[in-house]
Structure 1
Amino acid sequence: MDFDAVLIAPRRAASIAARHWHDRTVNDYLAACVRDRPDAPALTALSLDSGSMTRFTWRELARMADRVAMGLSRLGIGAQDVVSCQLPNGWHLTVLYLACSRLGAVLNPLMPIFRERELSFMLAHAQCKVAVVPQLFRGFGHAQMLQGLREALPALRHIVVAGGDGADSFEALLSGPAWEYEPDAANILLRSCPGPDDVTQLIYTSGTTGEPKGVMHSANTLFSNIVAYAERLRLTSDDVVLMASPMAHQTGFMYGLLMPVLLGAHAVLQDIWDPARAAALIREEGVTFTMGSTPFLTDLARVVAESGTPVPSLRIFLCAGAPIPGALVERAREALGAKIVSAWGMTENGAVTTTLPDDSDERASTTDGCPLPGVEIRIVDGTDADVPPGETGRLLVRACSNFGGYLKRPQLNGTDADGWFDTGDLARLDASGYLRIAGRSKDVIIRGGENIPVLEVETLLYRHPAVSQVAIVAYPDERLGERACAFVVPRAGQPFDQAAMVDWLKAQKMALQYIPEKLVVRDALPATPAGKIQKFRLREMLRGDAS
């Protein structure tokens, strides 16, 4: 694979001079953990799906990374080859990334919610050579699904099945044989170690163009963010990090997989969100830090309050993905006894802004924080002129953690010659330099921290024989932040209801989380004189402000 990460080289000199890029890869950080704390807890992975608990020290984790790397090399994986994985949070995912990094291969994490429609595009676009999937997760047969797609994926050489018991299982091909003791192991593991500017992660983000975009990151772009993030939150090797947000999402990947290796901190992983089990893990493992979207905070605060059993070790809950209601901050602060920190970021940048540990609780509910070190932000109008504090405009970001570009789509990179990335979001700054996201110029709905590709859903609904017009907009939800509502004008004489919509989208193999949860059938949709649907009026209808 030739990676066109054209946004990395032009900013290297300035990033190194400013000491934002550290020129260290995950291999360097893992080696330091093995040297300094070989027998300290490194990884604890709880699988509620299988009922298992797996633990590694740093020495054991590094040895397993070597073993799986050798297994991948036996499958033909080398530098700049793409290994895709559709795995839940667990030790397989962490080890797989560390193993890829031994070989200079690129990990492409994929959300477990994706189905045939999303996977067929992403795996082909990435030219994936090896794909690792669970045999079953939450009752769904991921291995069977991928086998059904195989003929349409000519680059795919091997499907490796975690939790399988056949010749294609993760254990048989990767983690079982003692590959690390083979005579050629030292040569293979040292031959292709990636440099800090090589692409190390390819992760897809739901866009508004009808197809996802492959975001490319290097060690320098990823760790420049994580170093600043950890320093701001005063996290050290003494911390214990719980990650229940999906590690196939940038939140879980950067702060549940990479950050503990950077710090030498103990990572605790949970594959299925169960707030009662999360609370128990916090107590059992002495968890001091966790992060997730608003539903995670809501649920955890509720179960701790209802149980009456505190979580005294928890120091910080960082909440991102949607604004945090003030009442929730108060309830969570009282129930958890932890500082609630708000943040905003993107797959393309990692965290961009956070509130500070010493900020008032009010800041967490009224702002999305201030920029991390190495991050600059601008709010501009339609002519790209800066707007005064308090006024809303387009949000531009220039950061050491900006991505390397979109795979095979440099024309969509959205970054100007001076390095400013157009986020597609609307925002405002207050007089203290704190950011507030005010809306999105992109047509994306964020449901529980997960982006819904609105245009893609609309396109599929337009193909239904009974649909004449469709528009999808967000409506507020206390737990998830937003849900999706489809406004539909049916063709004359043809009925269309919620069941028909759900059945149609399921038949198109769309992820269930992307299917609108509400349907409003109308004779016509509000439009401009040019015929463009006025979505702001549809949102007003949902709020009861207009009819």
Structure 2
Amino acid sequence: MTFDLMPATRRDAMTSAGLWRDETLLDPFRRHVAAGPRKPAVIASRAEAGDTVRISYGELDALSDRLAIGLMRRGVGEGDVVAFQLPNWWQFPVLHLACLKVGAVSNPLMVIFRERELTFMLGLAETKVLVVPDRFRNVDHGAIARAVQAQLPSLAYVFVVDGEGEEAFDRLLAADITEAERATLAARRLSPDAVIELLYTSGTTGEPKGVSHTSNTMLANLVPFAERLRLGPDDVVHMPSPMAHQLGFMYGLVLPAMLGATAVLQDIFVAEEMARQITQEGATFTMGATPFLNDLADHCIRTGTRTPTLRVFVSAGAPIPRPLVAKAQDALGAAVISAWGMSENGAVTTTRLEDPQEKVTATDGCPLPGMEVRVVDVSGQPLAVGEDGMLQVRGCSNFVGYLKRPGLAQVDRDGWFDTGDIARMDADGYIRIAGRSKDIIIRGGENIPVVEVENLLFKHPAVSAVAIVGYPDSRLGERACAFVIPRAGMSFSFEDMVEYLKAQKMAMQYIPERLQVVDALPQTPSGKIQKFRLREMARDGN
């Protein structure tokens, strides 16, 4: 695989600055195995099966060795793509470590994908091996995988967790390993600039692209992230977000293995179960989009539950509504950290543990060391403090390109990546995301401050969740439609919305012209609202 965002000049700049350490995850992982082979590495519960598997660092190393040799026996080597469409089960981290050991590319896939999406994604990547569950949430993933395999000559193997016969995942765990095989595996050393992860964008825009990362780009994000949040080997990392999403993959799988910490994996998000796992396992850190934070806080408030060991909750994946921060801090007794990032670069900005409340509630943080952000106008010129414009990013954790789509990444000659987000920057260099560029509503030539209107509506006592999108209008170009989920047992009408926003002294032209009360908002599994689907619904009047 060759990519267009990996020129020699970038490597020279990153290594000379000490931002790329030229290690793979296996380097710190093996140090942790040697130092504490019995230390818990992964605690993974399966909600439907009702079981919990506990794996030590020594066991994780041995399992990934067996899996790596099983892959080698089937001809998998450097640059081959191994896809796994799995929930947050123990097999997930074992697969990634095994791929690193043989030099293969890990391609995590969301469990929501079906035959159409899988055929495209696996075909584009020329995937050699696919691992799926037998069944998960009443879906026969094994049958779907076999149907896809019949259409893709390059897909040589399908293995099924809880499957039977030749396709059973356990058959991929090599037995009777020879000394020659062990020697071959031990001699392999993957370049830190080799692509180790292929991750399709989660679909907030409707067009999946294969984001590609190396060990250098990924670890260059996680080292300063851990340092800023004071995370180390004594932490217990709880991950409710799918590891097939970048948030779950980087911060639920790679981060704890890099630190020598313990990962607690939740496969189906239920707030009550999340609270139980945090309390029972002594989790100190967790991370997820705003629905995870909101639901956990609501559960703790409703039941009087406390999470005494939880020290930090990083809310990322979508702008955090300001009223939610104070509620969550009171309910959880933990620091709430706002963050912003993308699959293409991981977390780029976060607030700091020592930041005042107004930074956490009013911004999405400042850049991590090694990353730069700027806000520019349509001609690429930097804007003044407080002005909304296009957010651009460059630095050590930017990805190395989109699979087989050279030139698609919007990166200029100076290395600035166009994120597609609209943001503003304050005098201290903290940014606030105002929305996606496609989310901007221009009504009669006037830009509607979508996030501000959403934040105001979120404060209404009858509103549980809200998202605002534009829909076409022949006279004004666009009008605004608010989609609202009311709180249980409460109602919310168009008249309620208008009266409330007027009482908040909002300009009349900013008040949405339509309201649609819904039971749910379309989301990716990581919690991002799919506004492109809401725009379709608003356009079609659904």
- Shorter-chain-normalised TM-score: which range? 0.7 to 0.9
AA aligned opposite 1:187: A
Q: Does 1:25 align with 2:24?
A: yes
Counterpart-to-counterpart distance in 1, 2:154 and 2:206: 23
Counterpart-to-counterpart distance in 2, 1:8 and 1:64: 36
Counterparts of 1:81-160 in structure 2, within 5 Å, are 81-160=80-159
Which residue of the partner structure matches residue 512 of structure 2?
none
Classify 1:70/1:204 alpha carbon distance in 2 versus 1 (closer, same or farther; 3 Å): same
Q: CA deviation at 1:152?
A: 1.8
Which of 300, 303, 306 is 1:307 aligned to? 303
Which residue of the partner structure matches residue 184 of structure 1?
180
Counterpart-to-counterpart distance in 2, 1:285 and 1:434: 34
SS in structure 2 at match of 1:161: strand
Counterpart-to-counterpart distance in 1, 2:412 and 2:486: 37
Counterpart-to-counterpart distance in 1, 2:480 and 2:415: 32
AA aligned opposite 1:352: V
Which residue of the partner structure matches residue 77 of structure 1?
76
- 1:233-267 per-residue CA deviation (whole Å, 9 max, x = no partner) reads 00010100000100000000000000001110010
Counterpart-to-counterpart distance in 1, 2:363 and 2:181: 51
Which residue of the partner structure matches residue 13 of structure 1?
12
Q: CA deviation at 1:443?
A: 6.0
Q: CA deviation at 1:323?
A: 2.0
Counterpart-to-counterpart distance in 1, 2:399 and 2:206: 21
Q: Does 1:421 align with 2:429?
A: no
Q: Does 1:257 align with 2:256?
A: no
Which of 253, 264, 268 is 1:272 aligned to? 268
Maintained 8 Å contact 1:86/1:110:
yes
Maintained 8 Å contact 1:324/1:364:
no
Q: CA deviation at 1:520?
A: 4.9
AA aligned opposite 1:14: A
Counterpart-to-counterpart distance in 2, 1:7 and 1:389: 32
Maintained 8 Å contact 1:254/1:350:
yes
Counterpart-to-counterpart distance in 1, 2:407 and 2:379: 21
AA aligned opposite 2:63: M
SS in structure 1 at match of 2:59: helix
Counterparts of 1:110-509 in structure 2, within 5 Å, are 110-172=109-171, 174-175=172-173, 177-178=174-175, 181-206=177-202, 211-442=207-438, 475=482, 477=484
Q: CA deviation at 1:49?
A: 2.3
SS in structure 1 at match of 2:136: coil
Counterpart-to-counterpart distance in 1, 2:307 and 2:294: 15
Maintained 8 Å contact 2:204/2:531:
no
- 1:423-453 per-residue CA deviation (whole Å, 9 max, x = no partner) reads 111111011111011121246999xxxxx9x
- 1:62-108 per-residue CA deviation (whole Å, 9 max, x = no partner) reads 01010000111112111110001110011111000000000000000
Q: CA deviation at 1:332?
A: 0.9
The worse-fitting range, judged by mean Cα deviation, of 6-15 and 250-259 is: 6-15
Maintained 8 Å contact 1:340/1:361:
no
Percent identity reads 50
Counterpart-to-counterpart distance in 1, 2:315 and 2:59: 32
Q: CA deviation at 1:296?
A: 0.3
Maintained 8 Å contact 2:439/2:531:
no
Maintained 8 Å contact 1:86/1:134:
yes
Classify 1:340/1:64 alpha carbon distance in 2 versus 1 (closer, same or farther; 3 Å): same
Q: CA deviation at 1:4?
A: 2.6
Q: CA deviation at 1:52?
A: 1.5
AA aligned opposite 2:183: N
Counterpart-to-counterpart distance in 2, 1:517 and 1:417: 34
Maintained 8 Å contact 1:5/1:407:
no
Q: TM-score, normalised by structure 1?
A: 0.81
Q: CA deviation at 1:353?
A: 0.3
Counterpart-to-counterpart distance in 1, 2:531 and 2:32: 38
What residue ranges of structure 1 are gaps of 5+ in the alignment? 447-451, 459-470, 481-497, 499-511, 524-541, 543-547
AA aligned opposite 1:178: A
Q: CA deviation at 1:184?
A: 2.3
Counterpart-to-counterpart distance in 2, 1:421 and 1:321: 18
Counterpart-to-counterpart distance in 1, 2:138 and 2:203: 29
SS in structure 2 at match of 1:203: strand
Counterpart-to-counterpart distance in 2, 1:204 and 1:405: 12
AA aligned opposite 2:235: D
Counterpart-to-counterpart distance in 2, 1:71 and 1:190: 14
Counterpart-to-counterpart distance in 2, 1:522 and 1:203: 32
Maintained 8 Å contact 2:202/2:245:
no
Tell me how large the CA RMSD over aligned residues is.
2.9
Q: CA deviation at 1:27?
A: 1.1
Counterparts of 1:35-74 in structure 2, within 5 Å, are 35-74=34-73
Classify 1:208/1:269 alpha carbon distance in 2 versus 1 (closer, same or farther; 3 Å): closer
Q: CA deviation at 1:192?
A: 3.5
Maintained 8 Å contact 1:208/1:443:
no
SS in structure 2 at match of 1:406: coil
SS in structure 1 at match of 2:420: strand
SS in structure 1 at match of 2:179: coil
Q: TM-score, normalised by structure 2?
A: 0.82
Maintained 8 Å contact 2:4/2:407:
no
Q: CA deviation at 1:210?
A: 5.9
Classify 1:207/1:243 alpha carbon distance in 2 versus 1 (closer, same or farther; 3 Å): closer
AA aligned opposite 2:72: S
